[in-house]
């Protein structure tokens, strides 16, 4: 069980004058590395089936696993928090809204060993059976660094993820700036995702969208349960010291559609040049993108589906 855990709660506030909650996760990380764990590591804060949650003005550090995990929740506000963990600490995601709706994450600093913010909705046959999406998620004015992703959707997306807005984000010293990830066997629909006003520095890959990450909790997944990704808008994104601009890899039997890129400049380590985009099974449009985007992303004049997003 998580250090702070609640189920079926209403109108809960966790706040403080930047006091610290220290999960002392080192012993858990070491047991995980040694393969000695018999149980799942606890989150630092987890609310289930709850609504009206406010978390503010608290420092969270050294979580054994994910830091803040609202699952099956609604009307959640997380603001003015600091989340810290060593870069080599396993699975120490910052904030993971999971099958939750009406969530606002804002004005926070996160530096951990995994994704800063990752929107989830269950995985494989379990998430499909429950069928609860994450929806209406707002992430704004968040700064941080991670060896993995700054802003992520997935890879647990079996319940679906829709209506996500991330804006005014600063990401540095990280693996991936923006990462939308799902998998064959996940099922689920990812749609209406907008990421805007992002600055990133010293990042391996600026933007990555992939349909087959290859990870599963067990081998009972249905290989015919394909994920669908459509209506993703990425705009006003600037990066320096970005090793690779982007990769968008859809699925042959479930191509990504309506992928809209606008006003994106991702500069390499030594100047404006960066390796070209890598794409497959994707359609949409791009305008004012440097380095030049994939050939599959036509001009906005040829793809009316993106006209309203530029």
Any idea which residues carry the catalytic annotation?
114
- For residue 295, the tally of other CB atoms under 10 A from its CB is 9
* Residue 305 backbone phi and psi in degrees, to 5: -65, -25
Query: Contact, 140 vs 111, CB < 8 A?
Result: no
| Cα–Cα distance, 47 to 73 (Å, whole number) | 7
- The answer for residues whose C-beta is within 8 angstroms of residue 304's C-beta and 6 or more apart is none
| Cα–Cα distance, 229 to 128 (Å, whole number) | 16
Helix/strand/coil (H, E, C) string of the chain? CCCEEEECCEEEEEEEEEEEEECCCHHHHHHHHHCCCCCCCCCCEEEECCEEEEEEEEEEECCCCCCEEEECCEEEEEECCEEECCCCCCCCCCECCECCEEEEEEEEEEECCCCCEEEECCCHHHHHHHCCCEEEEEEEEEEEECCCEEEEECCCCCCCEEEEEEEEEEEEEEEEEEEEECCCCCCCEEEEEEEEEEEEEEEEEEEEEECCCCCCCCCCCCCCCCCEEEEEEEEEEEEEEEEEEEEEECECCECEEEEEEEEEEECECCECCCCCCEEECEEEEEEEEECCCCCCEECCCCCHHHHHHC
| Cα–Cα distance, 264 to 91 (Å, whole number) | 30
């Amino acid at each position: 069980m998580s250090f702070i855990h609640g189920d079926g709660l209403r109108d809960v506030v966790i706040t403080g004058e930047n006091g610290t909650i220290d999960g002392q996760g080192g012993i858990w990380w070491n047991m995980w590395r040694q393969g000695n764990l018999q149980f799942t590591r606890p989150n630092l804060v987890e609310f289930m089936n709850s609504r009206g949650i406010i978390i503010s003005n608290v420092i969270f550090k050294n979580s054994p696993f994910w830091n803040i995990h609202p699952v099956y929740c609604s009307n959640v506000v997380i603001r003015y928090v600091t989340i810290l963990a060593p870069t080599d600490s396993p699975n120490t995601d910052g904030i993971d809204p999971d099958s939750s709706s009406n969530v606002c994450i804002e004005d926070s600093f996160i530096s951990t060993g995994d994704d800063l913010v990752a929107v989830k909705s269950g995985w494989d046959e379990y998430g499909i059976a429950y069928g609860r999406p994450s929806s209406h998620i707002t992430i704004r004015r968040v700064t941080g660094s991670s060896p993995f992703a700054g802003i992520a959707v997935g890879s647990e997306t079996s319940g679906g993820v829709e209506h996500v807005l991330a804006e005014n984000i600063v990401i540095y010293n990280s693996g991936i700036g923006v990462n939308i990830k799902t998998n064959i066997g996940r099922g689920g629909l990812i749609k209406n995702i907008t990421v805007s006003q992002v600055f990133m520095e010293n990042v391996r890959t600026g933007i990555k969208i992939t349909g087959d990450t290859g990870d599963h909790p067990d081998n009972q997944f249905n290989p015919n349960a394909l994920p669908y990704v459509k209506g993703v808008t990425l705009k006003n994104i600037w990066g320096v010291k970005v090793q690779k601009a982007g990769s968008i890899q859809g699925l042959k039997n479930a191509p990504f559609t309506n992928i809209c890129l606008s006003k994106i400049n991702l500069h390499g380590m030594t100047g404006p040049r960066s390796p070209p985009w890598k794409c497959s099974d994707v359609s949409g449009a791009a305008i004012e993108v440097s380095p030049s985007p994939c050939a599959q992303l036509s001009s906005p004049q040829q793809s009316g589906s993106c006209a309203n997003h530029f």
